[in-house]
Amino acid sequence: MIKTTNLTKKYGDFIALKNLNLEIKQGEIFCLLGANGAGKSTTINLLLNFIAPTSGQAFINDTDVVKNAKKTKSFLTYIPENLMLYPTLSAVENLDYFLGIGGGKFYKPELEAFLEEAGLQKEAHHKRIQFFSKGMRQKVGIALAIAKDAKVLLLDEPTSGLDPKSSNEFGELLKKMRKNNVAILMATHDIFRAKEIGTHIGIMKQGELKHSFATDQISLQDLEKLYLETMNLNEV
């Protein structure tokens, strides 16, 4: 569902991403771990075609993200670290707008059903977003993915700053999405959450994918150790 072949991004002499080869199938959650500047967000931005690759290719649902940018975007939903919506509009209005600009047309009860499925309480559906917590906003993002019937979910540190309860709720939502055969790529710093919800984990450093493995092949302790070793922080 998500595939990259030798995907590289350079800014002058600086290599932000180097020969990334990645494949995430339907029903998989791939958690990308790494320090700031490791290349996690660059990978997501390349998959979104927000930036153009220097070399290599990226595919979403077998469609080249550069050559067919608009088509690939119809398959995916993107939730950044801090999903910002229109503060003066309600959750339903925001959802209606973002689905609308993607070409979707839904009636109000359908929009409410999507928000409910994403775990947003009914009483919040028609409240202005300016009164929402970050966790509530992320749920609107998930509702967007549900409504779009997205095949791919790209998440850039979505649980950062969330309280444990909200973070757990968000993890449960991702597991639900996975059961619906959605391919999920999540960039995160949260090793615990990656181990808990991911089916696969990748560790990145300085633009390179250093390790990639299935989550069930490694314990949380070993994962933490490997991560620290990779980051050259094992002495800490």
Partner 1 sequence: MIFQIIKKEVQEILRDGRFKISFFIVLFLLVASVFITSKQYSSINEQYDSAEKNERTVWESQGAKNPHSAAHFGNYVFKPKLPLSLLDQGVDKYTGISIFLEAHNRNQAQYSTATDQTALSRFGELTPDFILFFIIPLIIILVGYNSFTKEIEGRTFYIIKSQGVDGWKLVIGKWIAALIPTLIITTLLFLIAGIILSNIKGFGVFSWSSFGILYLIYLIYYFIFTNVILLISSISKKSGIALVSSLTFWVLACFIAPKIASNIADSKYPYPTQQEFSENIAKEKSEGLDGHNPWNQKSKELEEKVLKEHNVNSVNDLPFNYSAYRMQKSEEYQAEIYAKHYKKLKNQFKKQSSIYKTLAVISPFLPARFLSMSIANTDYQSHINFSDAAEDYRIKTQAFLNGNTEKNSKIGERYVASADTWKDLPRFEYTPASLSEKLNENTSNFVILFLWFSVTGGLLFLTNKNY
How near is the Cβ of 61 to partner 1 at its closest, in Å?
A: 13
CB neighbour burial string for 130-158, b if at least 16 within 10 angstroms, e if fewer: eebebbbbbbbbbbbbbbbebbbbbbbbb
Q: At what angle do helices 91-101 and 134-148 cross, to 10 degrees?
A: 40
How near is the Cβ of 57 to partner 1 at its closest, in Å?
A: 19
Return the number of the residue (48 or 204) whose C-beta is nearest partner 1. Answer: 48
How near is the Cβ of 38 to partner 1 at its closest, in Å?
A: 20
Return the number of the residue (142 or 191) whose C-beta is nearest partner 1. Answer: 142
Q: Which residues bind partner 1 (CB under 8 A)?
A: 48, 50, 69-74, 76-78, 80, 82-89, 93, 96-98, 100-103, 154
- 106 contact partners, CB below 8 Å, separation of at least 6: 95, 96, 99, 114, 147
Return the number of the residue (76 or 177) whose C-beta is nearest partner 1. Answer: 76
Return the number of the residue (56 or 80) whose C-beta is nearest partner 1. Answer: 80
The span from the CA of 34 to the CA of 40, in Å, is 7
How near is the Cβ of 72 to partner 1 at its closest, in Å?
A: 8
Element (H, E) at 219: none
